[in-house]
Amino acid sequence: MGVIGYGLGVIGAGLAIGLAAYGCANAMARQPEIQGRAFTVFIMGAAFAEALALIGFVVALVVQ
């Protein structure tokens, strides 16, 4: 059962990173002068989403 929960957690993290990358690319295409700031925010968001995926992995291991 924990594997199913981890799989759902990974799907959520993947969607979050995909949406963040889309938003970052869209923002940089519209306003190239904010490229550095937008990329920094994207990296922070991707790190937080990956951290949530890792927490889901740990919880799946602990539950079993």
Q: Domain spans of the chain?
A: 2-63
List of residues 6+ apart from 22 with CB closer than 8 A: none
What's this model's pTM, rounded to 2 decimal places? 0.71
Q: How far apart are CA 8 and CA 27, in angstroms?
A: 29
- Each residue's pLDDT, cut to its tens digit, for the chain (64 residues) gives 667 777 777 888 888 888 988 999 999 999 999 988 888 988 988 888 888 888 877 877 887 7
> Tell me, what amino acid is at 47?
A
Here the tokens at position 15 are: 């969607």
CATH class of 2-63: mainly alpha
- Alpha helices by DSSP H, the chain: 2-30, 35-63
Residue pair 57/3 in contact (Cβ under 8 Å)? The answer is no
The angle, 0 to 180 degrees and rounded to 10, between the axes of the packed helices 2-30 and 35-63 is: 180
